[in-house]
Structure 1
Amino acid sequence: MQSIQANNYLVHFNHNAYEALNKHLKENKYSNLFIIVDDQTNEHCLPKFLPLLETDLTIEIIEFEAGEANKNIETCIEIWNVLTELGADRKSLVINLGGGVVTDLGGFVASTFKRGLDFINIPTTLLSMVDASVGGKTGVDLGNLKNQIGVINVPQMVLIDTDYLETLPQSEMRSGLAEMLKHGLIYDAPYWRQFSDLKSIIFDDLDELIYRSVEIKNEIVIQDPTEKNIRKALNFGHTLGHAIEGYFLESETKKTLLHGEAIAVGMILESYISWKKNLISQEEYNEIKIVIQGIYDQIIFEEEDIDPILELLVHDKKNEYGLIQFALIEAIGKIKINQSVENKLILDAFQDYKS
């Protein structure tokens, strides 16, 4: 597969990825190499990755506990301290091997330690391959507020090897699929319709579907690297989805949702809003709802859940001048950004979802 040119770096695929990595290591005089993993990727992915490295550099492995609950500044402080103790300097290289939590947090750690170390991302989940691989967003959560602390800073390269997906449970695969569905809904109607019958998709097709998803996100980000305009399209499903994800993460009575599970709900809710604002037809809304509900389990919302979710919207990082900003679709494959939505319409969307 041909590498994809992103903003000042390349996304390499499968076998070509390791050739590019080893060439980069030979051409750059790094002092040492730190690989950031969580406990899951340390067990399942690191044993595959290490034998493919061709380097004489001293390699140190830094592990933290997996899960969104650990994507916080406290984990960063622990890793910054470890980097200090192990003698990391400005010529050290950080490789982040893992899902979106690892690449987001590891990228932030590298970008801020000693005012910035080179880093390379190797996403190992479907979600991180099609989402965190492009755009340079790094960061951590602030309590239950998603991605409130962070910087945009691009890696030296991104390596996508779909062999890592063989270690994933089906729930994680479905989580990643949500971002792929989103890319179709906001940008590419034929791509969206490839997912209307999942039974027809075989694993061999996955490389091409991932490649197209990365292309779509990259085409959007290149136009607007710092999210002042069209890049906001990528927030479809995420305004409500992130609030739902944050609420379930902090709740003592709710089961924590995977990112894609929350975004799937957010896409249904925001598609309903798009319909009620006369941006899409009822037929398009029904199509979206049927496809997404055919993939993801229904999430149960009690009446007392809705107000706390709406309160989290006030802190959404996409808000401007105190107004909540939605990216809505005005046809399958077409987006409309900077849309304000009254609370009643959001409540109606939840009622429709629950019904």
Structure 2
Amino acid sequence: MKTIQAVTYPVHFQNKAYQELSNLIETNNYSTLFILVDENTLEHCYPKFIPNLETDKRIELIEIESGEINKNLETCVGVWNAITELGGDRKSLMITLGGGVITDLGGFVASCFKRGIDFINIPTTLLSMVDASVGGKTGVDLGVLKNQIGLFANPEMVIVDTDYLTTVSKREIKSGTAEILKYGITYDLKLFKEIKNSKELDINKLIHRSVSIKNEVVLQDPKEQGLRKILNFGHTLGHAIESFYLESEDKENLTHGEAIAIGMVCECFMSSKLLGFPSEKVSEVKEVVLSIYNKTNLLKEDFSAIMEMLKHDKKNVNGQVNFVLLNDYEDYKIDCKVPEELIIESMEFYNS
């Protein structure tokens, strides 16, 4: 697959990527390589990665606990302390080997340590390959509130090797598929139709096109002033639902993709009521989502708590919740205000 050139860094694919990584390490003469993993990527991905790393530089492993619940400042402090104790300096390199939690948190840690050291993202889940590792967003959660603390910082390189997908569950593959659906609905309808109509998906092709789309958007709007906001489709309500389930002790957590899929159905419904998005296309999106994801029953008694989570969305301005809605497929409108009763009605529609 052809290398994609982002603003200041390349996204390399498959085996070619590791030679490029070795060249970069040699060229920049890094002092120490810190590889950030969790217990899952240490067991399943590190053994695949390390034979491809050709270097005589000192390598130090730093392991954190997996899961969104650990994507917080406390974990960052632990990693900063570990880097310090292991003799990290401004010529150190951070390599993040993992899913979205690892790439988001690792990029943030690297960007703040000694006012910034270089980092490289090696995503190992579909979600992180098509979204989290590309685009320059880093950060952590504040309690259950998603990505409240962070900054824009670009890696030196992103390596996408789909062999790592053999190490993740089908549920995680489905989680990443939600982001590909998002790109299809908002930007390139062929992607959406391919997922809808194909029994056997060409995952390499879908990943490459998804990264291309995200890169095209970010190149035009790196700091999310306009166009890049389309990448939030499904995420405004989806993040609130994800946060609510993360906080609820009596409910099983949803994956990011499961929550975003619900958000996309609901936001399509809102679009039909406010912007005239065709009702048959609302039904089509709902049908495709429910063909991939198990139905989540959003209880009416939970609606008020989900609405409370919405008030903390990082895209809010002056207390107003902003949605990305659709006039049609590939035709969006940003910064839409939606009445509370319509948001609730959209969740009832998802349930119906």
TM-score bracket relative to the smaller structure: over 0.9
Corresponding residue of 2:99: 99
Equivalent AA in structure 1 for residue 110 of structure 2: A
Q: CA separation in 2, counterparts of 1:139 and 1:234?
A: 17
TM-score normalised by length of structure 1: 0.98
In the TM superposition, what are the counterparts of 1:127-138 in structure 2 within 5 Å? 127-138=127-138
**Structure 2 residue 35 is the aligned partner of structure 1 residue 35:** yes
In the TM superposition, what are the counterparts of 1:39-118 in structure 2 within 5 Å? 39-118=39-118
In the TM superposition, what are the counterparts of 1:1-355 in structure 2 within 5 Å? 1-201=1-201, 205-355=202-352
Equivalent AA in structure 1 for residue 116 of structure 2: G
Equivalent AA in structure 2 for residue 263 of structure 1: I
TM-score normalised by length of structure 2: 0.99
Q: Which runs of 5+ in 1 are unaligned?
A: none
Q: Which runs of 5+ in 2 are unaligned?
A: none
SS at match of 2:195: coil
Equivalent AA in structure 2 for residue 228 of structure 1: Q
| Contact 1:185/1:329 (8 A) holds in 2 | no
Q: Deviation above 6 Å: which 4+ runs of structure 1?
A: none
SS at match of 2:199: helix
Q: CA separation in 2, counterparts of 1:7 and 1:324?
A: 30
| Contact 1:135/1:218 (8 A) holds in 2 | yes
Q: CA separation in 1, counterparts of 2:192 and 2:351?
A: 24
SS at match of 1:194: helix
Q: CA separation in 1, counterparts of 2:78 and 2:94?
A: 15
Q: CA separation in 2, counterparts of 1:353 and 1:192?
A: 19
Equivalent AA in structure 2 for residue 55 of structure 1: T
Q: Residue by residue, what CA displacement relative to the aligned partner does 1:321-351 show, whole Å, maximum 9, x if unpaired?
A: 2211001121112221111101010011011
| Contact 1:33/1:94 (8 A) holds in 2 | yes
Q: CA separation in 2, counterparts of 1:272 and 1:15?
A: 43
SS at match of 2:275: coil
| Identity value in percent | 56
Q: Report the RMSD for the aligned CA atoms in angstroms.
A: 0.8
Task: Tell me whether 46-55 or 275-284 shows the greater mean CA deviation.
Answer: 275-284
Q: Residue by residue, what CA displacement relative to the aligned partner does 1:286-337 show, whole Å, maximum 9, x if unpaired?
A: 1111111111011112122110110111110001122110011211122211
Equivalent AA in structure 2 for residue 218 of structure 1: N
SS at match of 1:138: strand
Q: CA separation in 1, counterparts of 2:268 and 2:19?
A: 42
| Contact 2:13/2:161 (8 A) holds in 1 | yes
Q: Residue by residue, what CA displacement relative to the aligned partner does 1:145-198 show, whole Å, maximum 9, x if unpaired?
A: 000000100000000000000111100000000000000001011221001134
Number of matched residues? 352
| Contact 2:275/2:326 (8 A) holds in 1 | no
| Contact 1:67/1:101 (8 A) holds in 2 | yes
Q: CA separation in 1, counterparts of 2:323 and 2:303?
A: 18
| Contact 1:98/1:122 (8 A) holds in 2 | yes
- Offset of residue 134 of structure 1: 1.6
Q: Residue by residue, what CA displacement relative to the aligned partner does 1:9-40 show, whole Å, maximum 9, x if unpaired?
A: 01000011111101101111111110000110
Q: CA separation in 1, counterparts of 2:76 and 2:275?
A: 44
